[in-house]
Amino acid sequence: MATFTLWWQMHAWRTPETLAATRFARPDGDAGLSFSLLVPARHEQAVLEHTVNGLLTSTHGDYEILVIVGHDDPGTTEVAERVAAVAPDRVRVVVDTNAVKNKPKALNTALPYCRGDVIGVFDAEDQVHPALLAHVDHAFRVTGADVVQGGVQLINFHSSWYSLRNCLEYFFWFRSRLHLHALKGFIPLGGNTVFVRTEVLRDADGWDENCLAEDCDLGVRLSSKGKRVVVAYDSEMVTREETPGTLLSLMKQRTRWNQGFLQVYRKRDWQQLPTLGQRMLARYTLMTPFFQAFTGVIIPVNVAVAVFLDVPVGVAVVTFLPALAAMVTFVFEIVGLHDFGRQYALPVRLVHYLKLIVGGPFYQLLLAGAATRAVWREQRGRNDWELTHHVGAHLTEATRKDVLR
């Protein structure tokens, strides 16, 4: 797993040309597409208004915003209706009346109301750059893509030891790994800042309402149908988000994602991919929760065998060989943290590098625990949606005070 992780982490930095190709091309000034932007919001009254107001600053001339709220969520509904009243020509409120609520059901509720050529998805806490839609419009027209996946970046790396690692994960995932997946023709899409041509999305019958990773599922289904996906990451254009506020929230979030991957694996749409290489990449990617759960058990056993049992030296040395790949990955993560701080003008200090190194094993244990919990839940048929709450930790101090006020 460490070797594979190192491979995809380093993809974007293989050559200067590869790195340059991961960014958005500069728009040509034309605007040929219209956008319907979906913002599902459940119990997000603390951050929703700031997000919608940010979307309203878009420099693109042809877009609408559909805020999706639950019929049983009066707090968020009040905020959504207040924003819609200020910009009725841009913002509409769609009410999700499903008895059981989740994100894909909310998105499908709004799908029939979309008027744009392209549908984009954002989370309720997102900070979106005003020029993003212009860049996405240009990317669609220049590449002929069916899907454009923009970058998403957690920003509040200073909040806690695990927030630092969580931010770095996103940095590598959107900066490098998704570009590799797009190149190979198999991609589990990210949950937001993803744009799909409306006719393509409707032909695919929208999102799977029973899947806990509806974004991954949509990406797999579109990949299996040969749809062209373009990924672009630009530190100026990324959508900024916050990390989960507690370890328990992070555990639940990762459990949901892992279980969603297992659900997508069991659906077997990936078996329709045309090449063996694509199918093998899909199988490994979607089975990652099994591998993570396994490592959570086998690594302590490996260490115990090497340290406590009376075994030949050669056997003891072999048990530690996987640590070499893990150490190289740690070194690359240190370099990645430096690049992350430089790109976002964030003060990365010595204490952050120490937290990165010391917190590494504990973070891996947390991921292994979440994967184990996902496997257990999937085997027991528990598919309830565990919501991640947001408080605006990724915003600047001044902006956060405005949001909370």
Distance CA 65, CA 83 (A): 11
For residue 405, give its domain range.
1-405
pLDDT digits (tens, 9 = 90+) for 174-231: 999 999 999 999 999 998 999 999 999 999 999 999 999 999 999 999 999 999 999 9
Domain count for the chain, please give it: 1
pLDDT classification of 100: cutoffs 50, 70, 90? very high
Q: Which residue has the tokens 């894909």?
A: 104
Q: How many Å apart are CA 382 and CA 253, to the nearest integer?
A: 15
pTM of the model: 0.89
The answer to whether 242 and 236 are in contact (CB under 8 A) is no
Residue 5: per-residue pLDDT:
87
pLDDT tens per residue across span 28-62? 877 789 999 999 999 999 999 999 999 999 999 99
Q: How many Å apart are CA 40 and CA 27, to the nearest integer? A: 28
Tokens 């984009």 correspond to: 120
* Count of helices and strands (H, E) across the chain: 17, 9
Give 280's contacts (C-beta < 8 A, 6+ positions apart): none
7-11, 84-88, 323-327, 372-376: which range is least confident on average?
A: 323-327
- CATH number of the domain residue 383 falls in: 3.90.550.10
Residues 3, 311, 291, CA angle at the centre, nearest 5°?
30
265-274 pLDDT per residue, tens: 999 999 999 9
pLDDT tens for 316-365 read 777 777 778 878 888 999 999 999 999 999 999 999 999 999 999 899 88
Q: What is the distance between the alpha carbons of residues 105 and 98, in angstroms, rounded to a whole number?
A: 7
How far apart are the C-alpha atoms of 385 and 370, rounded to whole Å? 15
Q: What percent of the chain has pLDDT over 90?
A: 76
Task: In whole angstroms, give the CA distance from residue 384 to residue 240.
Answer: 27
